[in-house]
Amino acid sequence: MISIRILIDADGCPVVDIAVGAARRHSTPCVILCDTSHEFKKEGATTITVSRGADSVDFALVNLLSAGDIVVTQDYGLAAMCLARRAVVVNQDGMIYDESNIEALLLQRHTAAKIRRGGGRLRGNSKRKEEQNKAFAMRLEELLEGKSDE
């Protein structure tokens, strides 16, 4: 059996509790990574707090992960680095990042940054819906059930 972990990029992550609960149910180690501007203490998870700074959590997470680990993040750049290390990467809505979608997502991020740098404004995200939490929970369960069979 392959030993995997769930690693959570917790800064701004709306599904920390869902992921920790799933990890507990599946007896899967869970690591929450955040910077010093956030504080997480969740039963059933280990929290690693890193210095505040641009991408400090991202680099700590990438350095910690092993192939096959499940990473929870909404950061496309971090997702790309994790895919390069052969992790399974899922966003807070249950979408799996993979080779078929990461390039388009990175391009979308780059284009949005250019618009903002040029003084343009983009619409923010809409209010989170319970359906998004359910989709994430279902996808994470599928991933954990599939990994436990290996």
Q: Give residue-wise pLDDT tens across range 94-110.
A: 999 998 878 867 667 65
pLDDT per position as a tens digit, 51-70: 987 789 999 999 999 999 99
Give the mean pLDDT of 30-46. Answer: 90
- For 57, half-sphere exposure in the C-beta direction (CA atoms, 13 angstrom radius) is 27
The angle subtended at Cα 108 by Cα 82 and Cα 99, nearest 5°, is 40
**Sign of torsion over alpha carbons 11, 43, 149, 2:** positive
Q: Which CATH number covers residue 113?
A: 3.40.50
1 inside domain = no
Measure the N-to-C terminal CA separation of the chain; round to a whole number of Å. Answer: 5
pTM of the entire predicted model: 0.83
Print the domain residue range for 107: 6-148
59 inside domain = yes
58 inside domain = yes
- Which stretches of the chain are assigned E, i.e. beta strand? 6-9, 30-35, 46-50, 70-72, 88-90, 96-97
66 inside domain = yes
Q: In whole angstroms, what is the distance from residue 121 CA to residue 112 CA?
A: 9
99 inside domain = yes
Domain count, the chain: 1
